[in-house]
């Protein structure tokens, strides 16, 4: 699957590392996706509400199906995020621009998850003109 196909098939996106700071890409990118109709579920270790939604401490705490796990964390942390994405039955794992991990790729692909790394979801959304609004 292409990144565009993966994103177009993802209505519910859990964002691991969504930032409190609106000036950071880890906040602005999910906000853009939300503005285009994606359901964003924030995952953050200490915030309680981000982008108008309840924040979960970890992926396993989310009580609904997640289509895509979008990661804004350092590459070294992504294998654990990949394991969690597999555990919750996500359909895809996406590592944002600048984030790569052979181990996360292996974990995701062996479990049958679609996988993207080193790409920005907002850029792919814009190029593919993907919107649910």
Q: Are 82 and 104 in contact (CB under 8 A)?
A: yes
- Specify which residues 16 forms β-bridges with: 43, 71
Dist. CA 115–CA 59, nearest whole Å: 17
pLDDT at 53: 93
Structure tokens at 132: 């649910």
Q: Residue 3's pLDDT band (boundaries 50, 70, 90)? A: very high
Find the mean pLDDT for residues 120-130. Answer: 96
Q: Which domains does the chain have, with CATH numbers?
A: 3-128 (3.40.50.720)
The CB-based long-range contact list for 59-63 (8 Å cut-off, 24+ gap) reads: 59/14, 59/16, 59/84, 59/85, 59/87, 59/88, 59/90, 60/84, 60/87, 60/88, 62/14, 62/88
pLDDT at 133: 81
Find the mean pLDDT for residues 4-31. Answer: 96
Q: Are 73 and 16 in contact (CB under 8 A)?
A: yes
pTM attached to this predicted model: 0.95
Dist. CA 26–CA 28, nearest whole Å: 6
Computed over every residue of the chain, the mean pLDDT equals 97
Q: Residue 22's pLDDT band (boundaries 50, 70, 90)? A: very high
pLDDT tens digit sequence for 48-98: 999 999 999 999 999 999 999 999 999 999 999 999 999 999 999 999 999
pLDDT at 1: 87
pLDDT at 49: 95
């Amino acid at each position: 699957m292409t990144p565009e196909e993966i994103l177009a098939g993802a209505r519910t996106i859990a964002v691991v590392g969504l930032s409190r700071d609106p000036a950071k890409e880890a906040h602005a990118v999910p906000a853009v996706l939300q503005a285009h109709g994606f359901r964003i579920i924030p995952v953050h270790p200490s915030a309680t509400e981000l982008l108008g939604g309840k924040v979960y401490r970890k992926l396993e705490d989310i009580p609904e199906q997640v289509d895509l796990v979008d990661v804004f964390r350092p590459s070294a942390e992504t294998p654990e995020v990949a394991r969690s994405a597999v555990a919750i039955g996500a359909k895809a794992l996406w590592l944002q621009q600048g984030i790569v991990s052979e181990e996360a790729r292996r974990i995701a692909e062996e479990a049958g998850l679609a996988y993207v790394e080193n790409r920005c979801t907002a850029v792919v959304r814009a190029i593919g003109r993907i919107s649910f609004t």
